[in-house]
Structure formats: structure tokens, C-alpha cells
């Protein structure tokens, strides 16, 4: 009985499974989202992240297993609390921006007047200063992406799901969009997004969900990820070209010492190590097997590098 | 309120698009207009006057008499190799067909011998040659009647002369030949009373239709309306689904609602389109002098035809990846349906197995629906309601499982 009074989580997805024909795309994916939280779902192309977002947003509504609750209720009853920003820019190209706002607003169940007011507010945030009588096809690439977001948020959703929102945006537009997402976070909106720009995600996301082969490989913050992967530092070196025999020896050594070879190409190598001591051990081994070492760099890894190590 | 907003939002969007996308607008208005006009001419071929070239090799008063038909324009050619010239002119479409009147045409008829008129036509144009055959037969019947009437008159005049001569020596016939004389008199009387129609057509077959002949005029719309609706609505409704999918509108619908209001609004939109199409077709027939007793049952027809066709179109749209495939799909479906619907060819001549297809052909079903409502003002069985529900459920299921082809 008292369960009703508990504060409900905006999103709770439990053991989501989904297959396209016979290929299993998602296997037991679970995710929960708090108010004002930004969660980024990352993974290689084809890892199932877009499919997972489409299930969360209700685009795929049949054929999956598992439960999705929005504010404690089955998703079906709370669909209007979710705003989905599709990867493909979505508007009606034959109508003006104003008509798009009015009609898409109506399709969300809100009046034309309210939609226009809401759009004006969002335009200010996202710095769109275009004549509403124009057709959306006349906008620049960055403006189209921003309009796509505005159209998805006319009904003021509490949960915003964005599928690759930064694709094709320059640094300026990306920064603008991150600021916008930060503003939404302050308004206690919950945000789930997918992105390949891991260095930017690292700065803004509260939580990372890494999908690998349709499964959750990691779910938590970046600090936890570093601990899990045992990569606290990156050791980059220039080396002389080595024989395949020596490379095999080095590989075996690294596996034995739990050191990750993150990249190895001709005379360049990148290793993931846990401590300075581990770096010294590696260095000594390289010298022992007569590998000439040139330039060196020892630093903390960025998210791209951490992600690389999950492969 | 939210649901109502949504419903009208979807409906408004489609009407806005019809208005803004001029090509769509013209297509939607133009197709029924053009097709109804064309069908109107097809159904009233009487008004068309055929152009015939004539090689009159007899040049007699009787051969000139052949060339007085009401519905044929005759052009007499006097060149040498006239028959070859006629063939060339038919191929070049300068004339519709040719007539060759042979030498001694009048003489042979006067000698009570069969004469011969040759009609030259293009046998690769099946439907047109049928029309020519029909019109030539109709016109020739009148000519033949005039000729036979003339022969009959002459014959009767000759018989009167024979009768007069006979009456002179009738009283001198010996009594032993009295019986034969009576037979002779009887035969003379019979020949004198011989009816032209009897010589022309000794056994007359009369056809008695179940309904008044006037009903035939009204029957045109029975076929025209379902055909126009099938072709246009199948294409427009399937393309409309693909348009919504392509520009992401369907994604927004699916992310925000259950999808039921979207489908219902779309069905209503297309039923309104079908209603407008029905009015266009009805007006064209009306201006052609055909009057219908309008009743509310006509709305049931619009509803049934609209719902069945648009839902079939939605299913095509959900199953097609792009507009091209949807249009192809619609055409592939509509043409065989038209062929086996009994409009162009009698279904009875088809093999039994194909006749079964006729029974499940949605177009033949819509035509019979249209026939019972328009001609007899009778409401049909509720089969169309059950069929609509089934098609709606299939469309809804496809909407839910649509992978958006992206």
C-alpha cells in the first residue's frame, strides 16, 4: 500500500531482450534512471544501443521481453512523459516550421497555442532565430538538428531520449546542445542518449552504460569503469619495428601481468596499466627482449581510450 | 481532450498536406474527374460517329443508298487500287474502317441474287473492331430493310400483274384442275401478303430484361466509382504511410501514443476523400442527364469503399520500403482485380478456378455492394464491416511491428 507514496524512478527497464529475425540484439538489458540524471549508452555500431533506445521510447512496442516502467507505471500509460529525439531529423518537409510545430504539437495532444509558446521558449534556449514561415528544409544542418530536438520536446516531457544527437554537428553546435542538456538536468529532467563522442560524454554524463554484443558490459560512473578495467594510466611509446615472434612473446607477457595492449601498429604501441610500478615492469621487459624504445608518454586515459579497452 | 487534440491533429496534418502538396491535390481531384469522364464516353459509344472510306465500284443508285447511315461519315474514294488505299488509310488512322461495294451490286440484287459488301477493318484493335462490327451491323440492318422492302414491293406489283392475268382465264380452268388452281391462288395470296420483316428475319428472338431498360443508364457509376476509388485510394493511402514514415512522423506517433488514433484519423481522412471523389463522379453522370435517387444508403457505400480501400492501402504502405514499391504493389493488385471483376470480360468465360478468385476479389465485392445500393437502394449484408475490422486489426498490428525500414 505504501509503495504508492514512494518516489518513483523516471525509468526502470528490466531484463530487456529483443531479436531481429533470429539474431539476438539485446540480452537482459536493465537500466534505471533518476530524476536529473544524464545517462549515456555507448557501444560499437550494431551493439544494440539504438534498438534499446527505441524500445525505451516505445518505437518498438511489440516483440521484446522484459518490463519497462515510467514513474512506476507500465510504459503504455505514461508515454506522453517521454520525448524521443530520433537520429534521423524528423519534420514534415512540405510544411512551414510553424505548421510543423502546431501539427506535431497537436499529435502530442497539446493545443497549437501552447505548442508555439513552448517552441518559442525552446528556440531561445537553443538559439534558433529563424522566420517560422520558412520551411525546415531551408535551415542549416545544425539548425535542423536543434529543430528536431524542439519538435520532440513540445509536450515538455520529463524523460528525454536522444539517439545520436551530436552526429554531424560542429564543436559550436555540440557545446550549445550540451549546455541545453545541462539546463534540462537542472530542471530535473532525466536524459538518456547515445553518442560516439566519449570525451564530451565524460564531462557531462552521470552514468555510462556500455553495451557489448547485446549485453550490458558496464553500468556505472567513469571512476568505476576505470577500476573495473584496471586501467588507471595510458603508456604510449615509439618502438623499433619488431618481429611477429617478439610480438607474440610481448602479448603473452601482457596477459600474464594483466596489462592491456590497446593499440599496436608498426612502431607505435599503447598500453593500459594500473600503476607506475606496472609501467616499470613493462619497460624492463621491453628492454629485456631487445625492443628499442623512443618517445614515451604516461598519462590518465580519456573515455575513448577506456572504451577501446573494453573491446 | 488530449485524445481529441491528437485525432484532429492527425486529420489536420493530412488535409494540410493535400492542400500544400499541389501535385497530390491535382492527382486526387484529376484522376476521378478524368476517369469518370472517360468512362462516361465508353459507356455511351452511340454518340461517336465512325469515319468510313468507301470504294464504290458499282456507282449505282442502290450503292449510293448504302451510304446514308446516320452514325457513319462516308468518304468516297475514286482512286485506282481503291481497296489497297483503304487499308493504308486505316493503318494511318485516317479512317476507322472501309467499305467496298462491288461491281454489279445493284444488278445482282435486282436479279434476286445475293450481293456482297466487303468491310475492311483493323483486327489488331479488338475493342474498336467490336464497336465497328456493332455499328455496321446496326446501320446495315436499316439498309437491308430498305432494299428488301423495295424488292418485296416490286414482287407484290409483279404478283398483282400475275393475279390480273390469272383472273382472265380462271373461269376456263377445267374442274379436274380446280384443286391445283386453289393452291395456286393461295400461294399468290401468301406472296402478296409476305412481310418484309419475315424475309429479313424469319425468327425473331425477343429479349426480356428483368429490370427496366432505364436502369442500364444508371449502372455506369456502379462500376466507375469502385474502380476509381480502388486505383487512387490504394496508391494515395499507401504513399501517405510511407511519407509519414520517411519524414519521421510515424516515429513521433509511435513514441507518443498507442497509434490507434493515428490510424482512425487516417481512415476518416481517406473516407472524406472518397466522399469527394463520389461527388465528382456523381456530378459528371448527373450533368450527362442521369439522375439518381439520393439516399443515406449512398453514405454507407462511400464508407465501405473508402474504409476497405484505404486499409488495404495502409497494409501495402507498411509492407513497402518506399513509394516506388508501394505504387507498383498497388498497380499489381488493382489491374488483375479489375480484369477478374467482370467489368471488361464476362467472368463466366474464365476457367472455374479463376472464377473462384472472382468470388474473393474485393473489387467485385465493392461492385456488387455499389450495385445493390445505387440501383436498388438496398443495404448490403454486414460482411464489409467484419472485413473492415479484420483489415484494421492487420494494419494496426503492422503499425506496431513496423521496423520503419531505416
The residue among B168, B200, B232 that closes a domain is B200
Instruction: Supply the pLDDT for residue B273.
Output: 92
Is there a single domain that holds both residue B223 and residue B186? no
In the beta sheet, which residues pair with residue A31? Answer: A13
The string of DSSP codes covering chain A is -GGGGSPPPSEEEEEEEEEETTEEEEEEEEEEE-TT-EEEEEESTTSSHHHHHHHHHTSS-SSEEEEEEETTEEGGGGGGGEEEE-SS----TTS-HHHHHHHHHHHTT--HHHHHHHHHHHHHHHT----TTS-GGGS-HHHHHHHHHHHHTTT--SEEEESSTTTT--HHHHHHHHHHHHHHHHTT-EEEEE-S-HHHHHHH-SEEEEEETTEEEEEE-HHHHHHHHT--EEEEEEE----HHHHHHHHHHHHHHT-EEEEEETTEEEEEESSHHHHHHHHHHHHHTT--EEEEEEE---HHHHHHHT-
With a CB-CB cutoff of 8 Å, which residues 100-139 of chain B face chain A? none
Taking residues A288-306, what's their average pLDDT?
81
The reported pLDDT for the residue numbered B406 is 42
Residues B7 and B57 in one domain: no
CB contact under 8 Å between A105 and B257, yes or no, is no
Q: Give a yes or no: residue B208 inside a domain.
A: no
Q: Closest Cα of chain A to B246: distance in Å?
A: 8
B287 and B233 housed in the same domain: yes
Residues B31 and B54 in one domain: no
Length of chain A equals 311
Domain assignment present for B207: no
Provide the sign of the torsion angle of the four alpha carbons A170, A171, A176, A179, taken in this order.
Answer: positive
What is the number of structural domains in chain B?
2
Residues B37 and B91 in one domain: no
Candidates A112, A156, A133, A90; CA nearest to B9 is A112
The tens digit of pLDDT for each residue in A58-78 reads 888 888 888 888 888 887 777
Chain A segment 84-103 residues within 8 A of B by beta carbon are 84, 86, 88-95, 99, 103
Q: How many residues does chain B have?
A: 406
Residues of chain B with Cβ-Cβ distance to A99 below 8 Å are 16
Cα(B27)–Cα(B136) distance, integer angstroms: 39
Cβ–Cβ below 8 Å for B255 and A58: yes
Q: Confirm whether B211 is domain-assigned.
A: no
What pLDDT score was predicted for residue B146? 83
CATH number at residue B147: 3.40.1710
Pair B81, B36 in one domain = no
For residue B257, tell me if it sits in a domain.
yes
Q: Which of B200, B229, B261 is the last residue of a domain?
A: B200
Domains of chain A, earliest start first: 2-220 (3.40.50.300), 231-309 (3.30.70.1150)
Among B12, B254, B400, select the one facing A106 at the smallest CB separation: B12
Same domain as B338, residue B268: yes
Is B205 part of any domain?
Answer: no
pLDDT in tens, B171-226: 888 888 888 888 888 888 888 888 888 888 888 888 787 877 777 777 778 888 88
Among the residue ranges A159-168, B256-265, B396-405, the one predicted with the least confidence is B396-405
Same domain, B227 and B367: yes
* Chain A residues touching B252 at Cβ < 8 A: 84, 86, 90, 104, 107-108, 151-152
In a mutational test of the B interface, the residue from A70, A89, A106 whose CB has the highest number of chain B CBs within 10 Å is A106
Last residue of a domain, one of B173, B200, B227: B200
Question: Mean pLDDT across the stretch B350-370?
Answer: 80
Chain B hits for A109, Cβ within 8 Å = 1-3, 5-6, 9, 256-257
Residue B206 belongs to a domain: no
> Same domain for B254 and B352?
yes
Residue of A nearest to B12 (CA): A103
Amino acid B178: pLDDT: 83
Q: Does B401 touch chain A (CB under 8 A)?
A: yes
Scanning B58-77 for CB atoms below 8 A from A yields none
Residue B56 inside a domain? The answer is yes
Domain of residue B195, residue span: 49-200
- Banded pLDDT at A2 (limits 50, 70, 90): very low
Of the candidates A82, A95, A103, the beta carbon closest to that of B255 is on A82
B28 and B177 co-located in one domain: no
Average pLDDT estimate for B357-369? 80
Task: Please give the mean pLDDT across all residues of chain B.
Answer: 85
* Residue B316 in domain: yes
* B6, B102: one domain: no
pLDDT at B20: 83
Q: Which of B209, B243, B220 is nearest to B327 (CA)?
A: B243
Of B239, B301, B300, B303, nearest to B271 by C-alpha is B303
Of residues B3, B13, B251, nearest to A90 (C-beta): B251
Kindly write down the DSSP assignment for every residue of B252-300, as one continuous string.
HHHHHS-SHHHHHHHHHHHHHHHHHHHHHHHHHHHHTT------THHHH
What pLDDT score was predicted for residue A74? 80
Write the burial class of residue A167 (CB in 10 Å: 0-12 exposed, 13-18 middle, 19+ buried). middle
B225 plus B253 within the same structural domain: yes
Mutate one of A54, A68, A77, A107 to test the B interface: name it (highest B CB count within 10 A).
Answer: A107
A104 touches chain B (CB under 8 A): yes
Which residues of chain B make contact with A108, given a CB cutoff of 8 A?
A: 6, 252, 256
Closest-CA distance, A231 to chain B, in angstroms, reads 37
The Cβ of residue A308 has, within 10 Å, a number of other Cβ atoms equal to 18
The answer to whether residue B168 neighbours chain A at the CB level (below 8 Å) is no
pLDDT in tens, A203-234: 888 888 888 888 888 888 877 777 777 777 88
Minimum mean pLDDT among A170-179, B288-297, B298-307: which range? B288-297
Report the pLDDT value the prediction gives residue A5, as an integer from 0 to 100. 44
**A96 to chain B: closest CA residue:** B20
Amino acid at each position: 500500500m505504501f509503495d504508492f507514496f514512494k518516489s518513483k524512478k523516471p525509468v526502470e527497464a528490466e531484463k530487456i531482450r529483443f531479436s531481429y529475425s533470429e539474431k539476438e540484439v539485446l540480452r537482459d538489458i536493465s537500466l534505471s534512471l533518476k530524476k536529473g540524471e544524464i545517462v549515456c549508452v555507448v557501444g560499437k555500431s550494431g551493439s544494440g544501443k539504438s534498438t534499446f533506445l527505441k524500445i525505451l521510447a516505445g518505437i518498438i512496442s511489440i516483440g521484446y521481453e522484459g518490463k519497462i516502467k515510467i514513474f512506476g507505471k507500465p510504459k503504455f500509460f505514461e508515454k506522453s512523459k517521454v520525448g524521443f529525439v530520433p537520429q534521423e531529423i524528423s519534420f514534415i518537409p512540405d510544411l512551414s516550421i510553424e505548421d510543423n510545430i502546431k501539427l506535431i504539437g497537436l499529435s502530442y495532444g497539446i493545443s497549437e497555442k501552447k505548442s508555439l509558446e513552448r517552441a518559442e521558449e525552446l528556440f531561445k534556449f537553443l538559439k534558433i532565430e529563424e522566420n517560422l514561415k520558412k520551411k525546415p528544409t531551408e535551415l542549416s544542418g545544425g539548425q535542423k538538428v536543434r529543430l528536431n530536438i524542439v519538435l520532440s520536446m513540445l509536450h515538455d516531457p520529463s524523460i528525454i531520449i536522444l539517439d545520436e544527437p551530436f552526429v554531424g554537428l560542429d564543436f559550436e553546435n555540440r557545446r550549445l546542445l550540451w549546455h541545453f542538456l545541462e539546463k534540462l538536468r537542472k530542471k530535473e529532467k532525466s536524459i538518456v542518449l547515445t553518442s560516439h563522442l566519449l570525451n564530451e560524454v565524460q564531462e557531462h554524463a552521470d552514468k555510462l552504460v556500455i553495451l557489448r554484443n547485446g549485453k550490458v558490459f558496464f553500468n556505472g560512473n567513469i571512476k568505476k569503469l576505470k577500476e573495473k578495467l584496471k586501467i588507471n594510466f595510458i603508456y604510449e611509446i615509439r618502438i623499433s619495428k619488431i618481429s611477429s615472434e617478439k610480438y607474440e612473446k610481448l602479448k603473452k607477457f601482457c596477459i600474464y601481468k594483466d596489462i592491456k595492449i590497446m593499440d599496436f601498429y608498426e612502431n607505435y604501441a599503447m598500453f593500459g596499466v594500473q600503476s607506475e610500478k606496472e609501467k616499470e615492469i613493462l619497460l624492463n621487459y621491453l628492454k629485456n627482449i631487445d625492443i628499442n624504445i623512443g618517445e614515451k608518454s604516461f598519462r590518465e586515459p580519456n573515455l575513448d581510450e577506456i572504451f577501446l579497452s573494453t573491446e | 481532450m488530449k485524445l481529441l487534440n491528437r485525432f484532429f491533429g492527425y486529420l489536420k496534418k493530412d488535409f494540410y498536406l493535400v492542400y500544400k502538396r499541389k501535385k497530390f491535390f491535382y492527382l486526387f481531384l484529376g484522376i476521378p474527374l478524368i476517369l469518370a469522364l472517360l468512362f462516361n464516353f465508353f459507356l455511351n459509344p452511340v454518340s461517336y460517329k465512325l469515319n468510313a472510306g468507301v470504294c464504290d465500284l458499282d456507282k449505282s443508285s442502290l450503292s449510293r443508298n448504302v451510304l446514308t447511315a446516320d452514325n457513319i461519315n462516308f468518304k468516297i474514294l475514286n482512286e485506282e487500287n481503291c481497296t489497297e488505299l483503304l487499308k493504308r488509310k486505316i493503318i494511318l488512322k485516317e479512317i476507322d474502317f472501309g467499305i467496298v461495294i462491288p461491281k454489279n451490286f445493284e444488278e445482282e440484287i435486282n436479279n434476286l441474287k445475293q450481293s456482297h459488301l466487303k468491310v475492311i477493318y483493323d483486327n489488331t484493335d479488338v475493342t474498336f473492331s467490336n464497336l465497328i462490327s456493332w455499328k455496321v451491323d446496326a446501320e446495315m440492318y436499316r439498309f437491308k430493310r430498305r432494299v428488301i422492302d423495295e424488292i418485296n414491293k416490286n414482287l407484290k406489283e409483279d404478283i398483282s400483274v400475275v393475279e390480273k392475268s390469272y383472273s382472265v382465264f380462271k373461269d376456263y380452268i377445267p374442274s379436274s384442275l380446280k384443286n391445283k388452281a386453289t393452291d395456286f391462288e393461295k400461294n399468290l395470296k401468301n406472296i402478296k401478303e409476305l412481310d418484309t420483316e419475315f424475309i429479313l428475319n424469319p425468327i425473331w428472338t425477343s429479349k426480356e430484361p428483368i429490370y427496366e431498360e432505364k436502369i442500364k443508364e444508371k449502372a455506369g457509376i456502379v462500376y466507375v466509382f469502385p474502380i476509381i476509388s480502388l486505383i487512387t485510394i490504394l496508391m494515395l493511402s499507401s504513399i501517405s504511410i510511407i511519407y509519414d514514415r520517411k519524414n519521421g512522423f510515424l516515429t513521433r506517433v509511435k513514441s507518443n501514443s498507442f497509434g490507434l488514433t493515428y490510424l482512425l484519423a487516417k481512415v476518416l481522412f481517406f473516407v472524406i476523400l472518397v466522399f469527394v471523389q463520389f461527388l465528382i463522379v456523381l456530378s459528371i453522370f448527373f450533368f450527362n442527364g442521369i439522375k439518381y435517387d439520393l439516399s443515406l444508403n449512398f453514405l454507407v457505400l462511400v464508407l465501405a469503399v473508402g474504409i476497405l480501400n484505404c486499409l488495404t492501402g495502409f497494409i501495402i504502405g507498411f509492407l513497402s520500403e518506399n513509394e516506388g514499391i508501394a505504387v507498383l504493389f498497388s498497380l499489381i493488385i488493382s489491374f488483375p482485380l479489375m480484369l477478374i471483376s467482370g467489368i471488361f470480360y464476362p467472368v463466366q468465360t474464365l476457367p472455374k478456378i479463376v472464377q473462384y478468385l472472382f468470388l474473393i476479389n474485393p473489387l467485385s465485392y465493392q461492385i456488387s455492394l455499389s450495385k445493390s445500393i445505387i440501383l436498388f437502394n438496398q443495404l448490403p449484408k454486414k460482411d464489409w464491416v467484419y472485413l473492415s475490422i479484420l483489415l484494421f486489426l492487420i494494419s494496426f498490428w503492422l503499425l506496431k511491428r513496423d521496423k520503419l525500414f531505416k
